[in-house]
Structure 1
Amino acid sequence: MTEFDSVVRSRCVVAPEGVGPLSVGIRDGRIEAVDDYAAPMPAREVTDLEDVALLPGAVDVGTGVHEPGHDLAACYRRAGEAALRGGVTTLVAAPAPARPPVACADSLQVHQRAAVGTGVSVYFLGGVTRGSGPLDLADLRAAGVVAFHCSLSDGGAPDLAALDDPQLRKAMAELAALDTVLLVHAEDAAELGTPPVSAEQRPATAERRGMERVIAAARVAGARTHVTPFTAAECAALLAAAGSVGVGLTAQTCPHYLCLSAQTPGAEPWAHVCRPPLRSDANRRALWSALLAEGASPCGSAITTVGSGHLPSHGLFTLAWSLSALWTAARGRGRGLADLARWTAGAPAELLGLVGKGRIAVGCDADLVAFDPVHRVTVPPTDPGPYAGRELAGSVGPVWVSGRRVPRPEAVTGVEPTA
């Protein structure tokens, strides 16, 4: 009988076929078998989580990593530690703000070297600048970037300047030829006030105008486009309608836009750190309605992914608590762990073509997260992010990255599985 390197069992495994009692056999860092909970599966190490859930490791798209004035390799290590505390096993790093910005193959190599030893899988987005040409984009793609990112305002400032409409169309046409995805920070610079910090200076109309520009350009160029972050719920109908005019447009939002608003007690200091800012409570509720919409696109809502929005360069530290924050709000709306896994793991991996990530299935990387959905945790009041002092539902336990069990993250878990 086959002996596995390790086996992880749970009565609540979130697999593509559904949620149920299963055993996951791991060999050489990959999932080699998924069988019944009680199936005999000899292994050198067996972990029985019992009623604690087993999720696919989250894939965080567009993670900000670099902190100004700090060593790049140290920033990747800190981001990796925060990711593991939050159940994220794959980071897809934003190209900017960063020094150097990932806008050419040479800069990408600098980041690839700095990311060695991060502790999680790291992929990269390539930055599209005003001067990016076909060869620059092709070189970045060949060197390993999984998708590209641009901004219509200050989404990559100061390292990625805003694109105008001809530049946006040109980039989309070139990326369509490369069969890759363009992520867009869609706030229109012309609609932002001065200084562009408060909600009044970053109105929802900036997102609407930006999305209109994105749809017009994508309609001509035929590029697959993902708006991130999507925050203005009043634009949901525009997002959903893009498919009717032949535009492959989807979007990503963030847990802090779904969990907090400008009116949430204690959230005011963070309202202006987030870009776009935290909006009204009515907008937050409507954003949930847009995320949960059925039939808006062939696969449901056009908001397909939820990412942490972690952006230390702006003082926004969210990576370690995003999964629990999202679950806290989602379970209150009657959603289940399958939704959580789809938003944070399956859909992001599918968007970027990361075929071995985001699923608990034979042949996939053994990136797994123990998650206790009922245990409540209080975020330390000294935490540097917007969830400081808040009580959240759901705690992250042991994490496996490519089959390697990572020690239990401090201050996050409330479970101690038996091994």
Structure 2
Amino acid sequence: MTRFEGARGDAPELLLRATRVVTPEGVRPAAVAVAHGRITALLPHDAPAPHGAVTVDYGTAALLPGLVDTHVHINDPGRADWEGFPTATRAAAAGGVTTLLDMPLNSLPPTTRPEWLATKRAAARGRVHVDVGFWGGAVPDNRPLLRPLHQAGVYGFKCFLSPSGVEEFPLLDPDQLAAAMTEITGFDGLLIAHAEDPERLAAAPEPTGPRYADFLASRPAAAEHAAIERLLTLAARLGARVHVLHLSAASALPLIAEAKAAGVAVTAETCPHFLTLTAEEIPDGATEFKCCPPIREAANQDALWAGLADGTLDCVVSDHSPCTTDLKVPDFARAWGGISSLQLGLPAVWTAAAARGHSLADVARWMATAPARLAGLHRKGAIEPGRDADFAVLDPEAEFTVDPAALHHRNPVTAYAGRPLRGVVRATWLRGTRVAGGGTAPVPTGRLIERSPTA
């Protein structure tokens, strides 16, 4: 008789079979039993289905844990014509993402006060297709509000060490950074930082016109290096928990590795576009590739992959930062900086990872397990009993060419347009309900989630 682990009376309602199930112990054939939205057991692939359970057999497809994307700009309310909760979360589901955390800027108002967090949640409630949580923001005038925001359930606090690009979210100067970090450390919060040094940026040549080389020169790697060095020095002195966002400059990797070895509580992420796109291939005027920090050269990309392989980099998340088509004018000085990739992160990363000899287990670790750990999402990020029944079903060998019109993002602008990718997301499951693929739930079933010890 098959034994189903879980709460008493939790007879499985759903059984998913696949020959490649990505578990913390490796990839193997298995059947995954689900009851009440949770994984109750990992069974042999040929285990008989329990009485009354719905069985779905995905054959040779890979069953990954639902991805956790901790770096998404949804812009709703206020700039919902750039991206709104329904479109962003539908795109997430189509890309195998089951949980995302929304960044505190580009919406109006930004998430820098408890009442504005409530505004953001009100805009999202009942309109999300995946689970959604929120980061708070640390800006010069809101230090007294950081603890109340933490108590209201944000997952941490984003700050900018250089201009953010929107006036309602100012940067922190060195003294303000120290004050915010001290406050956040006082309640064991997490500070996440856009780390570019404003003085190094100001000293760089200003970009003018359509040449990508000019834009790249305006955002030198030295600006990231200097800002990360300042962040880590302060974190070491204060005993703070910090996270480096969207690392682009591989020259900063030794700083992070040394800080980790010295016991500094630092983690770091990079993004699909830094791992899959290179400066050498970006045409002049193609501002769909503009982001800050920028996409750098192929040699830099090789070093980022090495940083992932050796554990210096922890996570791969999208930094989905969309805008309307008209803001992507063919001038790198004037165009909005941000890359839309929420729906495409998994196939983009898998395409490049497979070519470099990495496994599906590596991709799951970088895009599900590590981001869940970063945010303290203890029920997300892995296929094992007790976790939420969140799954991405990937056909790893299938190929497709990116058609912007086929994406669920609100605006059909993406740096991946026309790019051949390997790996098709066949279905996505959120707590045992299919939210993308055949038989998808007809209404949004995502939840608004809050930081807690058992989130």
TM-score by length of 2: 0.84
Tell whether 2:320 aligns with 1:303: no
1:95-117 CA distances to partner (integer Å, 9 max, x unpaired)?
01221100011111111121222
Q: Is the 8 A contact 1:199 1:272 kept in 2?
A: no
Partner of 1:20: 28
Matches within 5 A, 1:6-405: 6-42=14-50, 43-66=52-75, 70-71=79-80, 75-116=84-125, 117-133=127-143, 135-155=144-164, 157-193=166-202, 195=206, 198-264=215-281, 269-270=286-287, 273-293=290-310, 301-313=311-323, 314=336, 315-380=338-403, 382=405, 383-405=412-434
Q: Is the 8 A contact 1:198 1:272 kept in 2?
A: no
Q: Give the whole-Å Cα distance in 2 for the aligned partners of 1:167 and 1:265.
A: 37
Q: Is the 8 A contact 1:84 1:409 kept in 2?
A: no
SS in 2 for 1:209: helix
SS in 2 for 1:263: helix
1:175-228 CA distances to partner (integer Å, 9 max, x unpaired)?
122222211000011111475781111110100110111012111211111101
* Structure 2 residues not aligned, in runs of 5+: 3-9, 208-213, 324-335, 406-411, 440-455
Letter in 2 for 1:332: A
* Structure 1 residues not aligned, in runs of 5+: 294-300, 411-419
Q: Percent identity?
A: 40
Q: CA deviation at 1:245?
A: 3.7
Q: Give the whole-Å Cα distance in 2 for the aligned partners of 1:104 and 1:282.
A: 42
Change (3 A) 1:268 1:19: farther
Change (3 A) 1:199 1:102: same
Superposed CA RMSD? 2.2
Change (3 A) 1:166 1:403: same
Q: CA deviation at 1:248?
A: 1.7
Letter in 1 for 2:218: Q
Letter in 1 for 2:223: A
Q: Give the whole-Å Cα distance in 2 for the aligned partners of 1:85 and 1:384.
A: 17
Q: Is the 8 A contact 1:149 1:182 kept in 2?
A: yes
Q: Is the 8 A contact 1:186 1:228 kept in 2?
A: yes
Letter in 1 for 2:278: S
Q: Give the whole-Å Cα distance in 1 for the aligned partners of 2:81 and 2:418.
A: 29
Q: Give the whole-Å Cα distance in 2 for the aligned partners of 1:381 and 1:350.
A: 32
Q: CA deviation at 1:171?
A: 1.4
TM-score by length of 1: 0.91
Change (3 A) 1:271 1:251: farther
Larger RCO, structures 1/2 (Cα 8 Å, 6+ apart): 2
- Give every structure 1 segment of 4 or more consecutive aligned residues whose post-TM-superposition deviation is greater than 3 Å: 67-74, 193-197, 265-268
SS in 2 for 1:192: helix
Q: CA deviation at 1:267?
A: 8.4
Q: Give the whole-Å Cα distance in 2 for the aligned partners of 1:271 and 1:251.
A: 25
Q: Is the 8 A contact 1:30 1:366 kept in 2?
A: yes
Q: CA deviation at 1:155?
A: 3.7
